Amino acid sequence: MRLFAAVLPPEDVTAALAAEVAALRKLPGAERLRWTGRPGRPRGGAADWHFTLAFYGEVDDDLVPDLSARLERAAHRSAPFGLALRGGGQFGHGRALWAGAEGDLAALRLLADRAESAGRKAGVEMGGHRRYKPHLTVARSRAAYDVRPYVEALDGFTSPAWTVTHLALVRSDLPRSGVPGEQPRYETVARSPLGASG
């Protein structure tokens, strides 16, 4: 199954982001972007908007129990920390538009490093290590696209702050229908409390 470790913002944060994204979608050219998240859809544990900590890709079913146990230990070694969405940016010449983070970014990066290490130690093929850049993807484009107006609009955005209390292991099912713009489906398969928060 296709898996990643993530931090999932609470509903009040995703509601604030949904309102901001609704405004962004009214900007000229917004129809050229594939917008993530499904505002208005019941979350039901789904991770439509998330901070990916470590992407594992396709993981053999035999490795999942060890990966889950290692993530649980990584979460237990990490204290809860404060976070909020703030501002935005882009990757790949506009191929990804994202909301940024503020708060205890050192704790978020440490949790990302621990999630990556858990994957490697469980035998997951991870590829090369990259420095973690906290971001929550709100839109994508197949080709380079000038998203500067969207980044500028996100400059003034700040969500409510929250305390991160869990690390999530999330399954990602890619679209199979071939419908343009269809997004992956996410399912939270495990939630591990940070430190003494559970």
Q: Is 76 a catalytic residue?
A: no
pLDDT for 160-185, tens place per residue?
999 999 999 999 887 665 555 556 78
Query: Residue 69 maps to which CATH number?
Result: 3.90.1140.10
Structure tokens at 112: 């990302």
Give the number of domains in the chain.
1
pTM attached to this predicted model = 0.89
Residue 115 buriedness (CB in 10 A; 0-12 / 13-18 / 19+): buried
pLDDT for 131-141, tens place per residue?
889 999 999 98
Structure tokens at 19: 């309102």
Single out the catalytic residue among 50, 76, 129, 166: 50
Q: What residue has token string 């809860």?
A: 80
Query: What is the Cα–Cα distance from 193 to 39, expressed in whole angstroms?
Result: 26
What is the span of the domain harbouring residue 92?
Answer: 2-193
Instruction: Confirm whether 198 is domain-assigned.
Output: no
Instruction: Confirm whether 48 is domain-assigned.
Output: yes
Single out the catalytic residue among 76, 93, 129, 135: 135
CB 10 within 8 A of CB 191: no
Q: Is 129 a catalytic residue?
A: no
At a CB cut-off of 8 Å and minimum separation 6, what does 108 contact?
A: 7, 51, 53, 81, 83, 101, 132, 134, 164
